[in-house]
Amino acid sequence: MRYPSGTRRNQLTRQSTTRNSTTNYSNRGMSLEDDIQQTNQFYLEVNKAVIHKKPTPIQIVNVHYPKRSAAVITEGYFQAKSTTDFNGVYRGKHIDFEAKETKNKTLFPLANIHEHQFIHMESVIEQDGICFFLIRFATYDETFFISAQLVLSFWEQMKQGGRKSIPYDVIKKDGYLIPFKYQTRVDYLHIVDQLYF
Amino acid sequence: MRYPSGTRRNQLTRQSTTRNSTTNYSNRGMSLEDDIQQTNQFYLEVNKAVIHKKPTPIQIVNVHYPKRSAAVITEGYFQAKSTTDFNGVYRGKHIDFEAKETKNKTLFPLANIHEHQFIHMESVIEQDGICFFLIRFATYDETFFISAQLVLSFWEQMKQGGRKSIPYDVIKKDGYLIPFKYQTRVDYLHIVDQLYF
């Protein structure tokens, strides 16, 4: 499956442009993905967890092999992910999560999560893996830990003709706000510790 | 890090060309990677485990966005993997492994495993993940399950000037031969069950 040209990042974006630093939860304008990468790097350095971002799958059609230098991919296409963005191991348990950022102020739209990813999350839960979403509301500069089960329940409703988003209020009520820290900008394992161990 | 042009697959290859079918362990000429993908697909379908191959990381330099059709990557480079090829979740535990095929008859060369990958495996073991190699000797049509600890011990010796390979005899003695089955061509979870559960 190839991405259609251009317009998928309208509602959801990884590139936060907010510069709001009036709360303790400020991320100072870095994207959620950057913050997670930095956090994972810290976890790795202190031997707390081994969690990596999965590379984007690319369908390679043509490769050029110039003499005495690196192979060049001259034709390739982005493929849709069939799994989540991040996974790894923490205290023996499998960790699996997706990170999404939205500029919306009142809801988190489900449109940018592929059906494959929902199905993947159901399978991971069935295997007793720890599965969740990290959702950042860029306008409020707030990042929430939300169980995959909650998101899946909204997806089930959506499939039956229900709403295509999760209200901000539900996320605020049933999710867990992740405090900003300098060394672990999105310290999601702090929440995992509380919920699973 | 970019791959140098061309010559990395001399000793180790994913494309088995053997057609030896005189034993029960015959894989009938399919590559180890194909067999693992088929096995993982079966595990997924019967809800036994969720294990996927990680996409090859690619450094994207140029992308062309034609009107009304998919974005085309027009310049990209292969990057070295910093982790293993396969990971996922089985009975709540994190599974992490690398698959290698060799045409060598007497030893498994360590040359094609990057230092990053060894370091990654050490970290996964420290987090209590299940970590191993699947190594196929194409000439004998034999696929072995070998603990990451065994391979790491040879890597430690190599760093101190020791041999740059693991003898076939050691693998035969300390590894576990994986029988060929029709539905699970490389039923490595059978060995995982014996060793970890």
Please name the residue of chain A whose CA is at the shortest distance from the CA of residue B129: A92
* Pairwise pLDDT comparison (A93 vs A3), residue with the higher score: A93
User: What tens digit of pLDDT does each residue of B39-62 get?
Assistant: 999 999 999 999 999 998 999 999
Q: Name residue B145's amino acid.
A: F
Q: Are B139 and B103 in contact (CB under 8 A)?
A: yes
Which pLDDT score, from 0 to 100, does residue B29 have? 60
Q: Which residues contact B190 (CB under 8 A, 6 or more apart)?
A: B178, B184
Judge whether residue B22 has pLDDT over 50: no
User: What confidence tier does A137 reach under pLDDT thresholds 50, 70, 90?
Assistant: very high
Tell me the residues of chain B between 53 and 92 that have a Cβ less than 8 Å away from chain A. Answer: 54-58, 60, 65-78, 82-83, 87-92
Furthest C-alpha separation in chain A: 59
Q: Are B126 and B117 in contact (CB under 8 A)?
A: no
Pairing label, strands A107-109, B107-109 = unpaired
Q: Please, what is the average pLDDT of chain A?
A: 86
Nearest to B55 among A3, A56, A65 (CB): A56
Task: Provide the CB-side half-sphere exposure for A29 (13 A, CA).
Answer: 2
Distance of CA B156 to the CA centre of its chain: 20
Which pLDDT score, from 0 to 100, does residue A14 have? 37
Which pLDDT score, from 0 to 100, does residue A5 have? 41
User: What tens digit of pLDDT does each residue of A45-62 get?
Assistant: 999 999 999 998 999 999
d(CA B90, CA B25): 25
The answer to whether A73 contacts B70, with C-beta atoms less than 8 Å apart, is no
Question: Smallest CA–CA separation between A131 and chain B, in Å?
Answer: 11
ipTM above 0.90, yes or no: no
Per the document, the length of chain A is 197
The owner of tokens 């000037």 is: B161
- Which of A103, A105, A110, A184 has its CA nearest to residue A151? A110
Nearest to B54 among A54, A67, A70 (CB): A54
> Considering only CB atoms, which chain B residues are within 8 Å of A59?
none
Q: Are B81 and B114 in contact (CB under 8 A)?
A: yes
Judge whether residue A11 has pLDDT over 60: no
Judge whether residue A13 has pLDDT over 50: no
The answer to whether A55 contacts B52, with C-beta atoms less than 8 Å apart, is no
User: What tens digit of pLDDT does each residue of B72-118 get?
Assistant: 999 999 988 889 999 999 999 999 999 999 999 999 999 989 899 99
User: What tens digit of pLDDT does each residue of A53-86 get?
Assistant: 999 899 999 999 998 888 999 999 998 888 999 9
Judge whether residue B170 has pLDDT over 70: yes
Structure-derived torsion over alpha carbons of residues A42, A48, A50, A51, reported in degrees to the nearest 10: -60
- Which of A160, A173, A19, A51 has its CA nearest to residue B123? A51
